[in-house]
Structure formats: structure tokens, C-alpha cells
Amino acid sequence: MAPPPPSPSMAPPGLIHSAPGPLDTSAASAAASASAASMSGSVTETPSAIQICRIMRPDDANVAGNVHGGTILKMIEEAGAIISTRHCNSQNGERCVAALARVERTDFLSPMCIGEVAHVSAEITYTSKHSVEVQVNVLSENILTGAKKLTNKATLWYVPLSLKNVDKVLEVPPVVYSRQEQEEEGRKRYEAQKLERMETKWRNGDIVQPVLNPEPNTVSYSQSSLIHLVGPSDCTLHGFVHGGVTMKLMDEVAGIVAARHCKTNIVTASVDAINFHDKIRKGCVITISGRMTFTSNKSMEIEVLVDADPVVDNSQKRYRAASAFFTYVSLSQEGKPLPVPQLVPETEDEKRRFEEGKGRYLQMKAKRQGQAEPQP
């Protein structure tokens, strides 16, 4: 798959002047504007924002009673896939489906509980020649009190794949920006992300190997793997896995690693950029492996790798399909943060990954402190 997307910076909403999606409350006025534009001979604008929602059920919960981080990631991806596929098919030409290529860093700002309604809003904020940037906000609503809170912000990147040949990446219809600076800012995010994706792919040769009788608090002690046969229910109509399905499995494995390490309830705090390096087809056997890379006093970083094995196709070897870093926190039964047992790296590779994780942690900590400072 062609490397698309860019950096984690969240652009402000309302970037694109486009007719809204069917759930937008301003549909009537926007439809009138679009009709007038069509009569005047200008380009018909395409939907740039949608919203989906559903109530959280008991089967969405973890053992602590909060909604799984993977469930929320899956909903985020579904909204992104809808709006990007709709946009990429908005003009006459070869039909396509939008495939997830990357998810930028996603913070879980507040827990979502069973019985609350999740409102997932998605908006297209930039397009390059072969990719679409979608920003997604998630709100939780207590339907008894009407109270709402922001739980997640995410930026996702999609590429349009031809329905006739899913290995062919098509061109993306352009969008109309209200200011020229918005397009330039999007281009900078795109170029920065291309470099980061390439760097990630270069270091993707690692394999998580099992170790007999590992010591507590070591990397080997908590590392975990899940093997999953990709079936029709995991896939799009065109035979490759939904990005949201992969992310949900990745979150489950990361959660197992975190729980094994600290022996307490755990919750997803954030997800660093998730890179999708190649498509996973129906019939593949995928191995999702997770290992602890770094611990601070109150958080754990877990690297998750997804390898696909096309067991029914002898012409293709096992390959790395996706990778990401998940951050978890440990909670008491009352939901209060607990200290995290410190990781004990043993091998030189584990020590190197620990130092890299420490660098990511300090960089993000500094960024958050900078954002918290009052603006002049």
C-alpha cells in the first residue's frame, strides 16, 4: 500500500466548505447552497461531516465496567471509513473503497460507561492526491442526566482502493478550503507523516519470541500473543480486514500484557500512531503480539505487532501488517491510579526499546505541559 498520511496535529473543525452529511442538522440550508452552486455551473460539493451514535452495552465493557478502548477505536474507524469512502466516490469514475492507512496518536480523555451513548463525529480536513485525512471526535452522553463529555480525538488517514483491483490506489477528489493556509497546513502534516511511516517500516523486523520460566516484571513475563483466523465477518465486502477490527484485537492484546504486568484493573490511556503497512485478506491467519517496552511511575507502554500469514496462498510469505504503541494505566477497585511495577529489561534490545520508550514518554510529557501553559 502506498504510504499516505501525516502528523498528529489536530486541525480545527470546519475547514472545508462542503455540503453536510445526512445526519448534519444544517442539511436544509447546505442543500440549498449546493443546489444554487450546481445551477451556477460550479463544482458540486461533497459531504464533509457525519455523525454516528449507539448506546454502550454490557458486552462492550472490560472487567472494570468501562467501555473497551478497542470498541471505541473500532467506532472511530467505522465513521472514518464511511465519510472517506463516500468522498472518494463523489465524482464520476472508477468505484473504490477507502482503506485505513494510519491513525495518529489518540488520547482517551475520559472513560465511557455502559448505558451511555457514544456520539462519533467525523470530518474530512485534508486530501492529497492519494489519501484523505479525517478528524474524529467522540462524546459520551448520559441519557439520564443529559450530561456530555469529550472522550476521544483522533486523526485518521485513508487511501482509496479500486473495487476492480484492490492493489490499485486511485486518486482522491479534491476538497474546497475556506482559507489557503488550511491546505498548506494539511500538506505539512502529510509530508511529515510520510517520513514517520517510512521510519516505522524500517524497524519492523522484530519478532516476539516466547521465553520459558520468565521472571516477574521482565518483558518476557507479560508478553502475549493472540492468533486469529480472518473470517468473512472481519472483512469488507471486498475481502480485506476492517481497520477497526484489527485495532480492537490490538487493544485486547495490549490490555492482556498490561494486566499481566501489574495484576490490577487497567484502562487504555492513549494510543501512539497506528501504522497499517499492508492489507490483510480473508483467510489469513494473523498473530497479534504485544510486549512491554517502558514503564513510568503511573503508566505502561506496550508495543503491538500484527503479522499476517496467507496460509491458503503459497506464493506469499508471512508479513508485517500493522504496528503501534499503546499506553495503559493501572487502577484500583475504586478507579484510582496506582503505581506501576517497574519493568526490568534484560537483553540489549530490551534496554534499547526501554530508552526509546522513555524518549517518547518525555517528549509527550513536555508537549502536554506546553499545551497547559497560558497562551500570551
What string of DSSP letters covers 235-257? B-TTSBB-HHHHHHHHHHHHHHH
pLDDT at 204: 60
Rounded Cα distance, 330 and 27, in Å: 44
**107-132 average pLDDT score:** 94
Residues 6 or more apart whose Cβ sits within 8 Å of residue 244: 73, 74, 75, 76, 77, 78, 81, 100
Rounded Cα distance, 258 and 264, in Å: 9
Catalytic (active-site) positions: 62, 251
pLDDT at 205: 59
Taken in order 242, 58, 63, 104, is the CA torsion positive or negative? positive
Beta strands in 238-363 (DSSP E): 265-271, 274-276, 285-295, 300-309, 319-331
**49-60 average pLDDT score:** 93
- Provide the pLDDT confidence category of residue 203 given band limits of 50, 70 and 90: low
CB 216 within 8 A of CB 347: no
What structural domains does the chain harbor? 48-199 (3.10.129.10), 206-370 (3.10.129.10)
**Amino acid (one-letter) located at 219:** V
Residue 158 grid cell: 485513508
- Provide the pLDDT confidence category of residue 207 given band limits of 50, 70 and 90: confident
CB 101 within 8 A of CB 158: yes
- Read off the pLDDT of residues 222-268 as tens digits, 9 standing for 90 and up: 999 999 999 999 998 788 999 999 999 999 999 999 999 999 999 99
**187-211 average pLDDT score:** 75
